[in-house]
Structures are given as C-alpha cells and as structure tokens.
Amino acid sequence: MIQSVILLFRRNVPARTRLLAFGSILSMFYFCFMTFTVTALCWFEILPNMYRNNYSTLRNHRYMVAFFFINAIGNCILVLGTNTSINRFKKKVLIPFSIKEHAKKDKPQSKENGKNSECNEVIKRRRNKECQKEIKEEEREKSETESASSEPGSKICLKCNYRRPARSHHCIICDTCILKRDHHCFFMTVCIGYFNQKYFIMYCFYMLLGTFYGMILIVMYMNALFKLRFYGPQTFVTLLYELLMMMWTGMYPGGKYVFLLLLMYGSLTAGLLAASLWFWQMQIVVTGQTTHEAETGNKKYSAKSIISNFKEVFGRYWPLTLILPIPLPQCSNGLYLSENKNLKK
C-alpha cells in the first residue's frame, strides 16, 4: 500500500507503473469498503431487525459473521505484514552482483586471500568467545544460500543488483525481487510469494464465504422490507433492469432500497472475484506451480504427491492455518535449488 502511494507521486515513474499503482490502491479500498460495510450492516441493522424475537438465532448468526470477519481481516494483515522478498535474506543469503566486478573477468581475485579473510573472521569470533554452534550455523546457511544463488535456475536482477534464487522475480510496483513470486495482488497492494501465499489463499476463502453470506442476509432483509422475491440467478439481471427503468421513467426508489441493492451487487462481485482467485490458487497449489509456471507448463519444482505440494504452501501446521489467522512457519526457507528440492530450515 505504502509503496503504491510512493509510486503514484514519485517523479520519473513510467505511466504504466503509475496506472498499476493507482489501480492497486482503488482495489484495496474497494475490498476494505465491502468487508467493513457488509459486516457492520449485518451486525447492527439486518440481524437485530430480523431476529429481534429469537436471541439464539441472532447469536448464531453473529458468531458466523464474527468468524468470517476475523479470519478475513487477520489473513489480510498477515499478507500485508509478511516479508516474502529477498530482503529478508539479503545480508546472509544472496550474493551481491556488481557490474564493475563482472566486467573485470580478466582480473580474478585470489582464492587464497578469500580463504585467509574467512579464517581470520572465524579466529576473531572465537577470540570474542562466540559460540561454536552459531559459527557452524552461519557457515551452513552461507553454503546453502550461495548454492541457491549459483543454481542454474537463478538469474541476476539488474534492479536489485543481486543474484536472485530460482522462482524469484522482480516486481516493478514492490520494487524488489519476490521469493517464489506468484503475482502482484491489486487487492492487497503487495506481491504474493512463498511466505504469504497461504494467508492470501485463506483470505480469498473467507472473503468468498463472508461476502456470499452477507449477500444472502441482504436478500432476506430486502424480502422482508420490500417483498422482494428471488426466482433464481436471473433475478440479479432483472433487478438491475427494473432499477434502471424506474430511474428512466422518474419513479425514483427510496435511498435505502438503492443502497441495499448496490451493496448486494457489490457483495456478489467481490464474492465472485474471491472465489475465482481461491479456485485458481488451489489449482496451482496441488500441482506445485506458480501462476507463471502454470502458464508456461513448467512443473520442474512440483513434488511427487499432492499432499507434499499442499504442505509446501501451507506448512506442517496446515490444520491451524485453515481456521486461525496466525503466523506459522513454513516447511522450508523458500530457496529452491533444483528439481523437487528446497532448502530446509
């Protein structure tokens, strides 16, 4: 969100990037407006008026509304707050790339000097009474992550000046490389990558449940207030046609009727968008692909089983992820080395 606002007002930004940032901000406001408006309307207006004489039913409906709302907002916060870029590993993982150093191929540095400097660093740490376990852990991480950056699937990002690992791509809006980048989500204003994909999927799931649930309550409320009856999906088309004809002939309906009708269509649109995103994300999760890999037919990083692909995204504690919006660890660190191989934590 902040990066989109910065791009919107920064100078010398391409028109396409500025337009994408503006669309990202609008999409974020649309989903936030629908989430809070429908929740508040159901909680304070629809449910108390429809079930004022039935406290148990009112309580159960409010439990459902609260459950959907907490999960949607909680997963939204986790998507926005989870760092899934290469910046989380930049200090100890990725190999810096300098164009000047790359141009000096005829003057390679001495390997002995590099080894001596590393030995001196280890000796210095030992003299400072640092833990041997910590030194070995840092050396192991350095060895693994250097392998990830030198893997054939890795490439050099000229924007970040780093050798990014395989499956990582640079985003022009987020202005950084994203680990296992799937896409830039305009509704979240951030990129969906390795560490926040599961939260995005659960957000879409609870958004589609919450918006459709709210839409049903709005339809029931309109039926109670205006004797509005639904005869099937075609009613959504006929209602809009009737509203336009009433406004054309000067028979303006009440403001409450128009507000509820527009909110119903807004809930329907948001629910369909969330459903399509959730369905697509689940499809590429079970195949072990990203959106780009699915479009190009690349399955080199897919595991042998659907369960393994599922755990790769949702982590080893996936049952908790499905019902609670809490940050839980992944099965690995998002650095892919080769086919069906990912560095473990």
- pLDDT by residue for the chain (345 residues), tens only, comes to 677 777 777 777 778 777 878 888 888 888 888 889 999 999 999 999 999 888 999 999 999 999 999 999 999 999 988 988 888 775 555 555 444 444 444 445 454 455 456 556 655 655 555 445 544 444 444 444 444 444 444 577 777 777 778 888 888 888 888 888 898 887 788 899 999 999 999 999 999 999 999 999 999 998 888 887 777 778 888 888 888 888 788 777 788 888 999 999 999 999 999 999 999 999 999 998 899 889 888 888 887 788 988 998 998 888 998 999 999 888 887 777 654 455 455
Rounded distance between C-alpha atoms, residue 227 and residue 210, angstroms: 24
In a domain, 208, yes or no: yes
Domain count, the chain: 2
In a domain, 301, yes or no: yes
Residue 71's pLDDT is 95
Q: Tell whether 234 and 311 lie within a shared domain.
A: yes
Q: Tell whether 79 and 103 lie within a shared domain.
A: no
Single residue among 141, 166, 191 that ends a domain in this structure:
166
Residue 243 CB-density burial (10 A; 0-12 exposed, 13-18 middle, 19+ buried): middle
Residue 94's pLDDT is 53
Residue 318 corresponds to which amino acid?
Answer: W
Single residue among 166, 190, 219 that ends a domain in this structure:
166
Q: Tell whether 248 and 319 lie within a shared domain.
A: yes
Enter the tokens of residue 255.
């403001």
Residue 285's pLDDT is 93
In a domain, 91, yes or no: no
Q: Tell whether 15 and 51 lie within a shared domain.
A: yes
Residue 62's pLDDT is 95
Single residue among 166, 199, 224 that ends a domain in this structure:
166
Q: Tell whether 270 and 202 lie within a shared domain.
A: yes
In a domain, 19, yes or no: yes
In a domain, 50, yes or no: yes
Q: Tell whether 60 and 197 lie within a shared domain.
A: yes
Other beta carbons less than 10 A from residue 333's beta carbon? 22
Q: Tell whether 191 and 340 lie within a shared domain.
A: yes
Residue 30's pLDDT is 83
Q: Tell whether 298 and 340 lie within a shared domain.
A: yes
Enter the tokens of residue 265.
């269509």
Domain housing 144 = 99-166
Q: Residue 91: left if φ>0, alpha if ψ -120 to 50, beta else—which one?
A: alpha
In a domain, 174, yes or no: no
Residue 9's pLDDT is 74
Secondary structure element (H or E) that encloses residue 208, with its range: helix 197-226
Residue 297's pLDDT is 87
Q: Tell whether 30 and 109 lie within a shared domain.
A: no
Residue 325's pLDDT is 93
Q: What is the pTM of this model?
A: 0.77
Q: Tell whether 238 and 314 lie within a shared domain.
A: yes
In a domain, 153, yes or no: yes
Q: Tell whether 211 and 325 lie within a shared domain.
A: yes
Q: Looking only at Cα atoms, what is the longest distance across the chain?
A: 89
Closest of 96, 78, 43, 98 to residue 203, by C-alpha: 78
Q: Tell whether 40 and 132 lie within a shared domain.
A: no
In a domain, 173, yes or no: no
